[in-house]
Chain A
Amino acid sequence: VTAAGTDVKQQERELHRRLLEGDDKALALLYDEYSPLVFGLALRVTQDRGAAEEIVQSVFIQVWERPEVFDPDRGTFRGWLGTIAHRRAVDVVRSQRARRGREERDFLRTPTSSVTVEDGAVATSVAERVRAAVEQLPEAQQAAIRLAYFEAKTFRQVAEVLGVPEGTAKSRLRLGLNRLATVLSAEGLMAR
């Protein structure tokens, strides 16, 4: 961990302490810092602005109501908020699919290649580095990860879309994600 990393950790501990105390300005800070991440991710996965707004609301209410479930020594706010937001977005998409009915089997359709919601202004160097890291993965692993993470597909649906056995889909996800972790830690973005 670099000196800058220690500094960030210290700031996150401080922000967490303020959330525990009920400091309303701490939540406003957290919102200003991370609402673009939560909203962008929710919008990318659900493709629905209304649903994305509801997810933003529920994520920040949860963070404010139960800050104690987060441990700043074991994770980052970015990781925590991203995890909650992604899970909610996936739940929204899956329940919509369930409503639309099984016969439609929409997950068998080739995914329309992503309505990109990125708005340029925030295409930071970190985002560029993550994108570059993903692009270093073999095509097959990239495709599996995109389907799972951004299209809210289960590994079974990933297997169906790609026309491979379930075991193969799982191992592509595992190899790809492990490789991504290695590249990102070499970049200094995460500890391994």
Chain B
Amino acid sequence: MNNDATHDEVRETLAAWALDACADYEVARVEEHLEDCDACAEEARVLRGAAGWLAVAQTAEPPAALRDSVLAAAFAARTPGQPRQSPPAPAAPGPEPSADPFGDATDEVGAYGTEVAKLDRLLTTLLPAHWDTPTAEGWTVVELVAHLWAIDGVLAAGIVADEPGSLGDPADAGVDDRTTRAQDHARAVGAEQLRRRWRARADLLVATARTEPALLAGNVAFLGVDLPVATVFADRSFETWLHAEDIRAAVGSPSVPLEAEEIRLVATSAVSLLPLALGLTGAPARDGRVELVLNGPGGGVWQVPLGGPGGDGPAAATIEADVMEFCLLFGGRYQPDTVPCTIRGDTAAASSVLVAAASLARP
């Protein structure tokens, strides 16, 4: 690796490297050589030092408002008071351990904690102008975060006594009502305060579920229906991810797909709501069941009883779809007749399940 030809070539290229005037593959070659060659490393240090001085003739004051947003974003990425080690510890083998105490998506609460941490990292990189960008949901970024915060508040009201962040919504308030109130509040306190309140409520929800695991086995009143607490956490993790994707699309960030384990948790919990949704959509009880064959990472096969006898018999119909597409139907991103799927058997029975799935969608 450290032969004379490489050495001579790198030496000729060092100034271009110091000025960031090399292609990426050349940068890699130069930096590899610098690890082994003291003479080149010394010349590199001198040349980089000289190049660095070129910048001093180009100073310009950044806009004053940038200071607060940069410092806030930095302190969200690493909380003040958290020490760092010097010199750097050698890189440990294997994947980096997650810095997020809640970032383990092995259950519904973990999935929610993971999605919250991911969205928070995205939000802390936004510039002031990004917060007012409209999203596909029709709300701006700040209004969308207010909406998430409002609906998280329904779960908070159900499982946390005297939640400090509560805006005092009546127990029977609907999604629109709660969202409007939260958005008004966001306008009053500003985006950064809203982000902190949303994050504080999410952390409190996770901490509550972790300290009182018995809660997860119980039910909670959630927007007019009684649902298992674990199911509501799955709902919150999916909605948090979905709106994070809306924000990414609005500000031009690349999409971050859900992990297979999370898709599985979301699909399982949404499918578990289908019998209830069938009743609420007024589908007539039918004999037998519909089989859902959901393909792709996190997918699987689920059975949906149709309310009549014969739930253990042969399936009246089979719906085959991509698991992510089916989750997006639950999330309101498809209509029952637009979700890409293949139906075999009794079309009416299958359609009633698709209509029930779409009925679970909210903004």
Contact = CB atoms under 8 A, between A and B. Distances in A.
Tell whether A and B belong to one assembly: yes
Interface of A: 16, 19-24, 27-28, 31-32, 35-41, 43-44, 50, 52-54, 56-58, 60-61, 64-69, 71, 74-76, 78-79, 82-83, 85-87, 90, 117-119, 121-124, 126-127, 130-131, 133-134, 145, 148-150, 152-156, 158, 167, 170-171, 173-174, 176-178, 180-181, 184, 189-190, 192
Grouping DSSP codes into helix (H, G, I), strand (E, B) and loop, the B interface class, with mixed when no group exceeds half, is: helix
B355 interface: no
Contact of A149 (B54, B69, B125): B54
Contact of A82 (B21, B55, B77): B55
Contacts of A64: 74-75, 77-78
A134 B57 CA distance: 11
B304 to A, nearest CB: 47
Interface in B46-68: 46-63, 66-67
Interface in B182-196: none
Interface of B: 12-16, 18-23, 45-63, 66-67, 69-71, 73-75, 77-88, 125, 127, 129
B74 A181 contact: no
B46 A192 contact: yes
B60 A43 contact: yes
A53 B49 contact: no
B57 A31 contact: no
Grouping DSSP codes into helix (H, G, I), strand (E, B) and loop, the A interface class, with mixed when no group exceeds half, is: helix
Nearest to B27: A87
A106 B79 CA distance: 43
A184 B56 CA distance: 13
B58 to A, nearest CB: 4
Contacts of A36: 59-62
Given A64-B74, A184-B49, 8 more contacts: A36-B59, A40-B59, A54-B127, A78-B56, A79-B49, A86-B55, A149-B21, A155-B21
A31 B67 contact: yes
B21 A173 contact: yes
Contact of B61 (A39, A50, A79, A134): A39
B79 A22 contact: yes
Contact of B127 (A57, A65, A158): A57
B19 A145 contact: yes
